[in-house]
Structure 1
Amino acid sequence: MPDRTDEANLLIVDDLPENLLALEALLKAPGIRVHQAESAEQALELLLRHEFALAILDVQMPGMDGFQLAELMRGTERTKQIPIVFVSAAGRELNYAFKGYESGAVDFMQKPLDTHAVRSKVSVFVDLYRNRKRMARQLEALEQSRREQEVLLDELRSTKAELEDAVRMRDDFMSIVSHELKTPLNTLILEVQLRKMQLGRNNLAAFSEERLRHMVDKDERQVQSLIRLIDDMLDVSRIRTGKLSIRPTPVDLCKLTANVVENFAPQMEASGCALLFQRPEPVIGVWDEFRIEQVLANLLTNAMRYGAGKPVHVALGQQGEQAWIEVQDHGIGISRKSLERIFCQFERAEGSESSAGLGLGLFIAEQIVKAHGGRIEVESEEGQGALFRVLLPVRPEA
């Protein structure tokens, strides 16, 4: 039995019901559905509702005859490709066959109809229709396959680009890490070698109390630099795996900021930056004290690196249910292009390649603030410094 998708509709048009019944009985077959019309008007209604493999039109009908119907069909986009076969009981002397072909018919049959000839001709047109439909489905399937392959190819291109970016980021990261780790390590190694040389010469005078204090402070700064780099890398790993711990407790943001500013003051002074902070009234909220200190330390470190030796201002306050902290420097500023990516991993502002750091500070700071339900805003222009604003809900949602 033919597939449902291969079912063919046939249209037969005749003003005599007995002729329609006889022709339908002649054409009935599995996979063929015959539609009857007793006038050209009924035929047009059927043509609007169905797709036909063949139309068999009686020539002589009251009102619109078969030739006029054929001309209408040929002039309509939806029906102009339907094969038309004319049938007529009129004599050959009327030259209907010639007129039928002029109207766009593919065949002309004389009544009484030859049963075998009718079935044979209809079978040919039905097979052509089915083959055309199968070919259309195959072409559609091929086009669909082509579209899917295009989508897959685009995805592969995108994945390839992402992999290349990941490899490039990994290589850049390893290069930066090796450089950043070597800097404090080389200083420590050099200091150890100098002390070893002095001890080898039994020059104990080189280790006065003041000198020893200076050595210990310097060693501590280098060790803290190493610890900071390692902590940053560990935090990035925690963020990626969703394991960054946040332990909120009631905190006075004013006192927390004052402590961080006090701890940073010697470093700022050594780099030539004056650190300015006017302590306001207490701002109490529920935050992870250690993590907020980390955010503020990262912003101050950023301001110190790119502040060009100019004053750095720290301010904070509360507006409604939201607390805010601002860190403003007056250094090299950030280009519009860099503003779009400074919170990405391993990114540093243009013109800052010679500055220390892995390019993780702002990324980690933003992730910590987001984990508290807040956000970080930045305002900057090249050569005009930068203002970083941390906005934190006083009582973040659980």
Structure 2
Amino acid sequence: MPTQNKSKLLIVDDLQENLLALSEIIKQDDRTIYQASSGEEALFLLLEHEFALAILDVNMPEMDGFELAELMRSTEKTRHVPIVFVSAAGKEQNYAFKGYETGAVDFLHKPLDICAVRSKVNVFVSLYQQRNQVKHQVEALEKSRQELHATQAELQRSLRMRDEFMSMVAHELRTPLNTLFLETQMRKMQLEKGKLDAFSEPQLQRMVARDERQIKSMVRLIDDMVDVSRIRSGKLSIRPSETELSALLQRVVSDLSHQANSAGCEVTLHADVKANGIWDEFRVEQVIVNLLTNAFRYGGSKPVTVTLTRNDNVAEITVRDQGNGITLADQHRIFEPFERANTKVGSGLGLGLYIARQLAEAHGGSLQVESAYGEGAAFTLSLPFRNGLIQQ
């Protein structure tokens, strides 16, 4: 039997021959026997170990068995250790009565009845093992209860997130759909009234532009939900090819110039270095678009800078805004699905940064944020050069 599973027994007697004799009587494979030749030595052992039973000789110099028992009963660690007294004194001295007064569970007279001693010790060892078993079962039940409570809390959180997600999806889809529906109703009314001048070329261009923005908004929302589903199922698609980041950034900044103007943000691009590598151009662009869109949304109409740097191993793209910044608590949350910083600015499902980080990690890279509340935020996308880097 492993040592840690054995019951521990303590024998205290000032005579070595008594210790050896009693050890031989009660030894078994399921127990470990400790010997002490004095009360002081016994106390050190009692404080160090947990014993199933202590067998104390009554007549010992300096500290007798009764005094040791009183000390044991005064300490929380040893208070509940069963005590059996052993004495060579005659029964007429009434030691047994005094022993029971000090909290003993039994009193044995010498010469010892070997069978009786073994039987009594076996009973106490069995009781101790049963108590331990019950204790472990209770601990296991308590652990199971805590795990069940945690599971229930997580389930409730999941249900709450599901409900909030469905509510957000409904809201985010309803806004562009309502706009499209109202635009359609107005055009229908104008056609029915014969107001064809409302459909001049400039008017039609504005109508098409508005429709395109609303449709793109819905498509982006649906694409985000599809990406989350792919990420969670391990089916996110990454198609690496030769990609040059400087040109990619110039194109993205140019494509988003109208959005930047609408937000009142001036965008400055620092991308003089060439960074050629094997990455999924579409997915990298998706990350940068998300970071810039967030910078326009939360940047407080202040300048936004995009910087490309590189070394031999990694290309880094940093998008920095000068908005209110992100608290440390929010910095840990914003990369989780359906989470957004605690701000009244902007809307959305809270999926963009979650998807962006997953895309960065799918490239073997990372997406990190540095921010202090009130001092803006800087998001850095790190992309390692690998898979056949093309040097220029």
Give the TM-score taking structure 1 as reference length.
0.75
Q: Structure 1 residue 97: deviation in Å?
A: 5.7
Which residue number in structure 2 is paired with residue 329 of structure 1? 321
Of stretches 269-278 and 158-167 in structure 1, the one that deviates more from structure 2 is 269-278
**Residue deviations 1:200-247 (CA, integer Å, cap 9, x gap):** 112111101111111111111111111000000000111111111112
Distance 1:43 1:233, change over 3 A: closer
Which residue number in structure 2 is paired with residue 257 of structure 1? 249
Distance 1:138 1:377, change over 3 A: same
Distance 1:54 1:126, change over 3 A: farther
Q: Match of 1:379, as an amino acid?
A: E
Q: Match of 1:215, as an amino acid?
A: M
Which of 232, 244, 248 is 2:236 aligned to? 244
Structure 1: give runs of 5+ residues left out of the alignment: 36-41, 58-65, 89-95
1:139, 1:261 → 2: CA distance? 72
Distance 1:323 1:190, change over 3 A: same
Q: Structure 1 residue 311: deviation in Å?
A: 1.8
Which residue number in structure 2 is paired with residue 382 of structure 1? 373
**Residue deviations 1:261-297 (CA, integer Å, cap 9, x gap):** 1111111112222222244132111111111000001
Which of 71, 95, 98 is 2:93 aligned to? 98
1:278, 1:52 → 2: CA distance? 78
Q: Match of 2:375, as an amino acid?
A: Q
1:395 partnered with 2:386 = yes
Distance 1:191 1:67, change over 3 A: closer
Percent identity (aligned): 40
2:52, 2:330 → 1: CA distance? 61
Which residue number in structure 1 is paired with residue 347 of structure 2? 356
Q: Structure 1 residue 125: deviation in Å?
A: 4.4
Secondary structure of the equivalent of 1:83?
strand
Q: Match of 1:259, as an amino acid?
A: R
1:270, 1:70 → 2: CA distance? 93
Which of 155, 164, 180 is 1:163 aligned to? 155
Which residue number in structure 1 is paired with residue 361 of structure 2? 370
Contact 1:373 1:396 in 2 (8 A): no
Which of 83, 94, 98 is 1:81 aligned to? 83
Q: Structure 1 residue 67: deviation in Å?
A: 4.4
Q: Match of 1:387, as an amino acid?
A: A
Distance 1:87 1:52, change over 3 A: farther
**Residue deviations 1:290-340 (CA, integer Å, cap 9, x gap):** 110000011011111111222211111212211011111122321222112
Distance 1:199 1:144, change over 3 A: same
Distance 1:325 1:10, change over 3 A: closer
Distance 1:332 1:396, change over 3 A: farther
Contact 2:297 2:346 in 1 (8 A): yes
Contact 1:254 1:279 in 2 (8 A): yes
**Residue deviations 1:14-65 (CA, integer Å, cap 9, x gap):** 99x9xx9xxx9xx9xxx96689xxxxxx9959x999999979x9xxxxxxxx
Secondary structure of the equivalent of 2:154?
helix
Report the structure number with the largest CA radius of gyration. Answer: 1
1:274, 1:329 → 2: CA distance? 10
2:168, 2:329 → 1: CA distance? 21
- Mapping 1:1-398, distance limit 5 Å: 67-68=59-60, 81-86=83-88, 98=93, 106=107, 108=109, 123-352=115-344, 354-395=345-386
1:101, 1:291 → 2: CA distance? 86
Q: Structure 1 residue 371: deviation in Å?
A: 1.1
Q: Match of 1:378, as an amino acid?
A: V
Q: Match of 2:214, as an amino acid?
A: Q
Contact 2:53 2:83 in 1 (8 A): no
Of stretches 307-316 and 147-156 in structure 1, the one that deviates more from structure 2 is 307-316
2:199, 2:264 → 1: CA distance? 29
Distance 1:324 1:33, change over 3 A: closer
Contact 1:317 1:323 in 2 (8 A): yes
Q: Structure 1 residue 127: deviation in Å?
A: 3.4
Q: Structure 1 residue 357: deviation in Å?
A: 1.4
Secondary structure of the equivalent of 1:327?
strand
Contact 1:329 1:386 in 2 (8 A): yes
Q: Structure 1 residue 147: deviation in Å?
A: 0.8
Secondary structure of the equivalent of 1:144?
helix
